[in-house]
Amino acid sequence: MRWTVGNGSRRPAVAGLFYPADAGELRRTVDRMLGQAPRATDAAPPVALIAPHAGYPYSGPVAASAYARLAIVGGVRRVIVLGPAHFVPVPTMAVPAAAAFVTPLGPVPVDTRMCDRIVDLGLARCADEPHAPEHSIEVQIPFLQRALGSGWELVPIAVGADGDAAVVDVLDLLTGDGVLVVCSTDLSHYLTLEQARVRDRRTAEAIVARTIEAIGPHDACGAAPLRGLLRWAVRHELVVDLLDLRTSGDTVGDPARVVGYGAFAVRRSG
């Protein structure tokens, strides 16, 4: 069974659930969160971002802390979004056959040439099924659409639990000038507010220190893409900065059972 429909575009799975389905409302929501986020115009431009992927009322302000950094980034032509596969098992990585990902703000073209390349090299399989119900990549796209405008292509990669080593190879293959990487992950799940703050602080310290072995599946639902990104950062001597660290209990959720969110920027040293 194939999940793509219509003209070969991947349609939204969580519009109206995780974020507004109305284009105008979505545009205003994202722009408001970006406008409220701190802007570090004197910082080094990020080559990668780490952002959460829950519903916008819960994690959107934290994600905006990462995407606000794109105000100092120009000339992005390709965005690689790495997200965990929550619903359909993926051995390592999967890219879609779909030619575009659609949000209420419009379609974003998929860089099918790059997707085909990593499939041909045996680094990923081509399958629409893992992408069709998956929110981890989808919720990042409206932020990218508003922060970058048009003129860029998407490489959406669903990463399985054993995919972190393949992530490093793919990033080495696909990154360069004009390329941005986004790693989509939440942090702890369903702890109390105080428990989450302790665990997420420890996880954030591990991310900044690039202490990969300290990050397990209970620390981040996107542990595999996150660990892969950090392995790549170590290989290329990149620096990770913590931008924001909160929980759903700090935004609109029940403090007795929260999900943790962190925003980070990965940049060149110096």
pLDDT value of position 40:
75
* H/E stretch holding 184: strand 179-184
Q: What confidence tier does 72 reach under pLDDT thresholds 50, 70, 90?
A: confident
pLDDT value of position 4:
38
| pLDDT of 199 over the 90 cut | yes
How far apart are the C-alpha atoms of 81 and 79, rounded to whole Å?
A: 6
* R_g (Cα) of the chain, nearest Å: 17
- 156: helix, coil or strand? strand
Percent of the chain with pLDDT over 90: 91
131: Cβ contacts below 8 Å, ≥ 6 apart: 3, 10, 94, 96, 98, 137, 156, 158
| pLDDT of 5 over the 80 cut | no
- Tokens describing residue 189: 């799940």
- Helix, strand, coil percentages (3-state) for the chain, rounded to 5, are 35, 25, 40
pLDDT tens readout for residues 102-139 = 999 999 999 999 999 999 999 999 999 999 999 999 99
With CA atoms as reference, report the closest residue to 235 among 167, 162, 158.
167
Question: Domain boundaries in the chain?
Answer: 9-268
Decide: 111 and 119 in contact? Cβ < 8 Å: no
pLDDT tens readout for residues 135-184 = 999 999 999 999 999 999 999 999 999 999 999 999 999 999 999 999 99
- Tokens describing residue 104: 């209420």
Question: What architecture (CATH level 2) is domain 9-268?
Answer: 3-Layer(aba) Sandwich (3.40)
Computed over every residue of the chain, the mean pLDDT equals 95
